[in-house]
Amino acid sequence: MSSASSFACVLDAKANLGECPVWSITEQVLYWVDINAPALHRFDPATSTDHTLAMPESIGSFALRAQGGFIVALRSGIWVASSDGKLERKIAAAPYDRVRFRFNDGRCDPQGRFFVGSMNERRDGSTAALYRVDRDGTLMQVIGGIMISNGLAWSPDGKTMYHADTPTHMIQAYDYDTATGTPSNPKTFVRWEGDTDRPDGGAVDSAGNYWSAFYRGGKVVQLSPHGTLTAEYPIPAMCPTMCAFGGPGLRTLYVTTARQMREPDELMRLPQSGGVFAMRVDVPGLPEPSCAI
């Protein structure tokens, strides 16, 4: 395991586009996806073993279900899958042109509703959106005008929702109605100017700090609940994609990374790109909510 201030590769997966790490407290394992492979993975840090559950098409994100198994966001729509990765039923069809869009970052709110954003793969307009899947399976758009939906997370009290549109270099904070699952009153939480300051997936710890993986930035940053940069942690991969707290006491920060479209010399210099990295942290994370669907 890495020291208190540095990341170490715990799974040299060589993933094309590793994403969406989710820690199962019950199983004490880390689930994650390779969007383009496409597959859902089950990594057991105690044995360093990684089991692959193949998917039939791009899998943007998923959540653990309270009843067991998963809810998965595939290119064609939202599905329920068994614990061995078998697709059991389709909840909702994808609300976009599958040639130009796919689902991307997603997770459950504290009430067990599944939120998932789409992305415009051609990056030729802000025509993607963030959606909510209610407990009855209804899919509803909650935010529009997005190019690449990312950074979804909630504050410890559940009353603030965070969301990033990666190409804007900005994370927004929304007032969140826990009764209806409705975000409102967006405010700029933090905005960056650098070309490589591209907030991808995020996570919130038990003190309310927001952690963001900088795709193409080679680092993970920690922000206070007020949006102040409090720490930066380099990672030996240029494209970290998302953070998740796990391990005993939720004091390990796991980060997935990508190696898609990277230059050969970069991969020679950073050969563990596409791996899963981990770092011990002082402040524990929050348990990942299970999906109530």
- Ordered by start, the domain boundaries in the chain are 8-280
Neighbours of 267 (CB within 10 A): 16
200 is catalytic: yes
- Please say whether the structural domain 8-280 has been given the CATH code 3.40.605.10: no
| pLDDT of res. 1 | 29
Of the listed 34, 50, 109, 200, which one is catalytic? 200
Neighbours of 82 (CB within 10 A): 13
* Torsion angle of the four alpha carbons 134, 203, 205, 157, in this order, in degrees rounded to the nearest 10: -30
Mind listing the pLDDT tens digit for each residue in 21-74? 999 999 999 999 999 999 999 999 999 999 999 999 999 999 999 999 999 999
- Take residue 175 and report the two structure tokens written for it: 């007032």
Q: Which alpha helices (H) appear in the chain, and where do they start and end?
A: 264-269
User: 122 near 139, Cβ under 8 Å?
Assistant: no
| pLDDT of res. 135 | 86
Q: What is the mean pLDDT of residues 14-19?
A: 98
86, 213, 232, 268, 289 from 280: Cα distances, Å: 34, 16, 14, 27, 22
| pLDDT of res. 2 | 33
Residues, the chain? 293
Mind listing the pLDDT tens digit for each residue in 132-147? 999 889 999 999 999 9
The C-alpha atoms of residue 177 and residue 184 are separated, in whole angstroms, by 8
- What is the average pLDDT value for the chain, to the nearest integer? 96
User: 271 near 247, Cβ under 8 Å?
Assistant: no
Give me the residue label for tokens 């993975």. 41
Mind listing the pLDDT tens digit for each residue in 214-233? 999 999 999 999 999 999 99
